[in-house]
Structure 1
């Protein structure tokens, strides 16, 4: 890919897509911001894109040399819609693809693992970003963040397991390098923050930063699955609860230096992100934040 070519950012209004688009624009790159509502972003060309509507794919791909791929949310089999699109992208001249996956899903694994497996055979240059759990799960619109704001509690089935939580800004910074460096990484990259933390540790940091008591309440796998199933399909809820159980068993208790290797600077700590993103006064427990 020519480093000055247009980059298609799929999911450009999401947690990592919005940050990747913004950082690409700040670096002077041409960005096509793709979302279901074609939301306009300053400095980017907006285009409507829906994974499940192939009629939206052609305009998104026209003239793109690289693409940042955020899989469809909540789909247990994203390869069914992503692989046809990726074949079309290759035929349209896309040379570099960077896929957002997960530290919990290896190449060839379930869900997006099948897309990971196919990527090297489809594009001349590629990378798969496998971030750990996002720090923004506790500061944004995620169920954990809402539970913290409204009830002062974090509910998980992770026990005392630890996670190398990662800042979404750091994920985006790695994505930008993978998309624009002279040569793509051509590998998968497990992305973490600088330390592995338990959910008790997260609750303690949020308490200290906000001045409001927050606790971690441990659930069983079954309790977590059923709680999530009230908000999403049972199959996806079971998968997410299973990831909590894997954390309890130590699957995510690790850190890597991938952020520093790719960006040239250390990964942000959770305390730094909490201090950056939890500045506004919070409502009292049991009340909803102002909208």
Structure 2
């Protein structure tokens, strides 16, 4: 009798019609995770707030994936997004100081719907039990037998597109932070996504906390110097105080979140992010991208 039960369970878990739900599938890491999963032959449900935008992104960049509307502010969208999912790439609501209030009820619903593995995107600056995503991190092992928490360092992509650093570099050749001489193991979002895909698809349950960095710890002054060389123009790091950084962020995000982000800069100045890990190489079999290679790739 026990053997028969195990066989039925294994068959259910191997159901080829089940898929991985990727939340934030048009975002920096979510889009890359969806694309890499689909390229590897995995079934993907790409989720985002604007169904049309998600569908367009899926059609142009993520062949083999399907699109579904998902909005953290609209729990009515959870059920359809979870239909048929057995794994979830979880990006909590952006800019929320207390995301656990909405994410934990979603995870309860996900477990009831048959999800068995969740990979959470958190931050190297936030440990289990810490603020914001730290509360979700702490709860995850009690909700799922298979889980992983990705805690990447600061993204190299923060210097591209419409990010504040990219805008200030374009405007006047400055990078503004309250990090002083503190160093950061900046990491490429492509490398984060590659680690996420391994955590989602490895046959063995990951059940681990993965701090993800690039190969070098660099100060923002170091970053400015690399950008200046690659771009062929003057780029400098302008140091702000904690209060100046908090006030600079305040118009764009809630006050508590601005204070937390400015506090992360202050922690960097005190050495909190001055480290590198072997996570990318250990899980993917290749070294992480250097900041110079990233900058040269983006400029090209």
Q: In structure 2, what is the Cα distance between the partners aligned to 1:107 and 1:272?
A: 32
Secondary structure of residue in 2 paired with 1:274: helix
1:104–1:11 distance in 2 versus 1, CA, 3 Å: same
Q: Distance in 2 between matches of 1:208 and 1:89?
A: 48
Q: Do structure 1's residue 22 and structure 2's residue 43 form an aligned pair?
A: no
For residues 147 and 251 of structure 2, what CA distance do their matches in structure 1 show? 37
Structure 2 residue aligned with 1:104? 125
Any conservation in 2 of the 1:3–1:181 contact (CA below 8 Å)? Answer: no
CA distance in 1, matches of 2:210, 2:74: 30
Are 1:255 and 2:276 an aligned pair? yes
Structure 1 counterpart SS, 2:29: helix
Aligned to 1:33: 46
Q: CA deviation at 1:184?
A: 2.9
Greater helix percent: which structure? 2
CA deviation string 1:193-230 (max 9, x = no partner)? 00100000100111111112111000000011111112
Per-residue CA deviations over 1:216-256 (Å, capped at 9, x if unaligned) read 00000001111111221111111000000000000000000
Tell me whether 1:214 sits opposite 2:235 in the alignment.
yes
Cα offset for 1:278?
Answer: 2.1
> Distance in 2 between the 1:69 and 1:91 partners?
16
- How many residues in Structure 1 have an aligned counterpart in Structure 2? 279
Alignment partner of 2:210 out of 170, 189, 200: 189
| 2:78 alignment partner, SS class | helix
Counterpart residue number, 1:10 = 23
- Matched with 2:267 is 246
State the distance in 2 between where 1:145 and 1:16 align. Answer: 18
- Partners of 1:14 and 1:99 lie apart in 2 by 15
TM-score w.r.t. length of structure 1 = 0.94
1:135 counterpart = 2:156:
yes
Structure 1 residue 50: deviation in Å? 0.5
Between the aligned partners of 2:14 and 2:286, the Cα distance in structure 1 is: 25
Whether the aligned pair in 2 keeps the contact of 1:164 and 1:193 (CA below 8 Å) is yes
Structure 1 spans left out of the alignment, 5+ residues: 280-291
In the alignment, the residues of structure 1 paired with residue 94 and residue 299 of structure 2 have an alpha-carbon distance, to the nearest angstrom, of: 25
The residue number in structure 1 matching 2:76 is 55
| Alpha carbons of structure 1 residues 162 and 91: separation in structure 2 relative to 1, 3 Å | same
Cα deviation code 1:36-76 (max 9, x no counterpart) = 01211032111000012110000000000100000101000
CA distance in 1, matches of 2:68, 2:43: 13
CA contact (8 A) 1:155 1:217 kept: yes
Residue of structure 2 in register with 1:234 after alignment: 255
Alignment gaps of 5+ in structure 2: 1-12
- Shift of the 166–3 alpha-carbon distance from structure 1 to 2, 3 Å rule, reads farther
The match for 1:285 is: none
Aligned to 2:226: 205
Q: Residue 66 of structure 2 aligns with which residue?
A: 45
Residues 139 and 278 in structure 1, CA contact (< 8 A), matched pair in contact too: no
The answer on whether the counterparts of 1:139 and 1:274 sit within 8 Å (CA) in structure 2 is no
